[in-house]
Homo-oligomer: A and B are copies of this chain.
């Protein structure tokens, strides 16, 4: 059976140009100059049309990797290259921990198969009394608890419910994709700050977190048909996981 697990290789021209430009940017000596060659020069060097280069530069500008000044040129934004943990796009927890400079580990703490919870069922667009599947995992950074994560699914999404070991060793995104045919495309998160004691009713795992407050992400994950397929409640110890975000500002 072929699973086609890897992200499909993109070979559109813009993607190639984007990769090539990013390689160029990373090799630049930014302390000397942050100016990129002109669009025309880039286009000629890469053997593509200017409009293609222009689109790529537009994308990179929206990602704040570069900024353009009309009539002057295109410049690298050095800030963007320093960021290790970006809020956007979503990243795997293991990656988050690794990129913040620690060794990641997971422990599955609990698993429930017949939870009834109308509030969460509603977020998943299910009937209020639909049975839910819930997992609780703790992610460690160098033995220290760094992320606490609850995932909720409709019990019916999986024809056969994955085992404890599968949940522990595999990301929920992968399981949803491979075992339920649901590919997560987007998520919507809502952010809150919580003090440890506020979370004790939820789980006693928080007692092991070496901090006083946690960053809470209330997340709904949507699949390829824009249907909610997973609800997540994630708590980050911001001493380990410190999200960064570059924003454009339109304030006057």
Residues of A within 8 A of B (CB): 5-7, 62, 64, 67, 75, 77, 79, 83, 87-92, 171, 173-174, 177, 184-198, 211-216, 220-222, 226, 236, 238, 242-252
Q: Contact between A238 and B193 (Cβ–Cβ < 8 Å)?
A: yes
The 3 closest A-B pairs by CB, nearest first: A195-B212, A213-B213, A193-B213
Minimum CB–CB distance for A123 against chain B, Å:
11
Chain B residue with Cβ nearest A184: B249
- Complex Cα spacing A185 to B68, Å: 12
Interface residue from B184, B215, B245, B250 paired with A215 (Cβ < 8 Å): B215
Contacts of A196 in B (CB 8 A): 195
Q: Contact between B245 and A67 (Cβ–Cβ < 8 Å)?
A: no
- Complex Cα spacing A248 to B251, Å: 25
**How many copies of this chain sit in the oligomeric assembly?**
2
Also in contact, A186 and B252, with CB within 8 A (given A87-B191, A195-B212, A213-B193): no
Q: At the interface, is chain A mostly helix, strand, loop or mixed? A: mixed
Contacts of A251 in B (CB 8 A): 90-92, 171, 173, 184
Minimum CB–CB distance for A19 against chain B, Å:
15
Also in contact, A90 and B250, with CB within 8 A (given A213-B213, A226-B77): yes
Q: Contact between A244 and B213 (Cβ–Cβ < 8 Å)?
A: no
Q: Contact between A192 and B242 (Cβ–Cβ < 8 Å)?
A: yes
Q: Contact between A245 and B64 (Cβ–Cβ < 8 Å)?
A: no
- Complex Cα spacing A62 to B248, Å: 14
Q: Contact between A245 and B77 (Cβ–Cβ < 8 Å)?
A: no
Contacts of A6 in B (CB 8 A): 252
- Complex Cα spacing A194 to B236, Å: 12
Q: Contact between A249 and B89 (Cβ–Cβ < 8 Å)?
A: yes
- Complex Cα spacing A197 to B211, Å: 12
Contacts of A236 in B (CB 8 A): 193
Also in contact, A185 and B252, with CB within 8 A (given A192-B215, A194-B193, A226-B67): no
